[in-house]
Amino acid sequence: MKAKAQSNENMTTEIQWRRQWKPDLRSCPWQPITIDGESYLIKTKFTQDSYEILVTDLTNFWYEELDEKNLKKRVQKLNPSIEASVSRILDQIRNCLESPDNAETNLSIGFKAETDTEEDKMMLKLNSQLAGMPFTWHFIGKPAEKEMTSQHLIIPLMAMVGELMRRQGELVKVLETKDREIEDYKSQGVKTSRNNENNDDVDDGSLEENNRKSSSEPSWGTSRLPPSIAGSKSLSPEKSPKKSPAKSPRSSASNTPDVSPVKVIYIYKIMKQLFGANARFLNPSIVL
């Protein structure tokens, strides 16, 4: 009876949480995007009359939030000849960001500090066509607060890593159970349909090593991994990662905590191989 009462209480709490929960920028997925030959991650949240955008190169983070009043001012400044509703303008901006490879969409990015003591601001320029007329938009991102770094990237990544390790542990248990069943059948004189004589016993270490060796598909994070993980081809001298020419030296002094995402990106690659498209289900705020 106590267990049933506890289960009902948990269900009630879950229902209340779902009713009160409202989506925010933290629940929006990251989208990989290439601008001027450099790789970035971008996440956005659009409403009927406003938007939020967060951009990162995994070293710096830039954020902008624009309400209806300021959005109308920017539309009038950048596109004085276009007459369209705020919702139509926002739909145009969102569609361009979601389909950056569209022939009518052109993206460029730049960085500038207004004073010597100020950190670099980010300006993401968007050029496209709206109803047959040229349409321009500028995202002006200020350096994001340190809390946003952990809320939007580090904490979701670590939660995803924890879930990966739990699933990998469960997978190893299942494989070990199957190994014992096969050995039991063989000890009883049963012949298996496949040749298992040369198969090594599965353990956690061998599973991780096999996934490391089989990680050959290129991904967004491959160029950011060390040679021991990414392989010599992805980081050959001819194709070494470029430094962003648009950034000033001051931008390298990031406000990001000293936590490297290399290992968690590598573990995500393992998870993607193990669980395929279901890997995204682990945390909707991470898409690499």
Question: Distance of CA 119 to CAs 8, 180, 251, Å?
Answer: 52, 60, 7
Q: Is there a domain that residue 179 lies in? A: no
DSSP alpha helix (H) spans, the chain: 2-20, 68-78, 86-98, 146-149, 155-187, 204-213, 227-230, 262-275
Give residue 44's pLDDT.
Answer: 93
What tens digit of pLDDT does each residue of 254-288 get?
444 444 444 455 555 555 554 444 444 444 444 44
- Asked if residue 175 is part of any domain, the answer here is no
pLDDT surpasses 50 at 181: yes
Instruction: Give the residue from 284, 253, 254, 286 showing the smallest Cα distance to 268.
Output: 286
Residue 169 inside a domain? The answer is: no
Q: Is residue 32 part of a domain?
A: yes
Q: What is the mean pLDDT of residues 218-239?
A: 45
End-to-end CA, the chain: 45
User: Which range, of 57-71, 177-191, 229-243, 258-272, averages the lowest pLDDT?
Assistant: 229-243
Overall number of domains in the chain: 1
Q: How confident is the model at residue 51 (pLDDT cuts 50, 70, 90)?
A: very high
**Which tokens is 194 given?**
């496949």
**Is the dihedral angle over the CA atoms 211, 216, 217, 223 positive or is it negative?**
positive
> Taking residues 52-57, what's their average pLDDT?
94
CA distance 190 to 185: 5
**What strands lie across the sheet with 31-35, from one edge to the other?**
31-35, 38-46, 51-56, 61-66, 133-143, 121-130, 106-112
Residue 191 has pLDDT above 80, yes or no: no
Mean pLDDT (whole number) for 204-214 = 62
Which residues are paired to 135 by β-bridges? 128
Domain of 84, in residue numbers: 22-163+202-288
Residue 105 lies in a domain: yes
Assess if residue 171 is contained within a domain: no
Question: Could you tell me if 211 and 273 are in contact, meaning their C-beta atoms sit under 8 angstroms apart?
Answer: yes
Give percent of the chain above pLDDT 70: 63
* Residue 53's pLDDT band (cuts 50, 70, 90): very high
Of 166, 171, 169, 163, nearest to 284 (Cα)?
Answer: 163
| Predicted confidence (pLDDT) at residue 226 exceeds the cutoff of 70 | no
Q: Is residue 256 part of a domain?
A: yes
Distance CA 251, CA 59 (A): 9
| pTM for this entry | 0.61
Q: Is residue 262 part of a domain?
A: yes
pLDDT digits (tens, 9 = 90+) for 77-105: 999 988 889 999 999 999 999 888 887 88
**pLDDT score for 124:** 93
CATH code for position 119: 2.170.210.10
Mean predicted confidence (pLDDT) in 108-130: 84
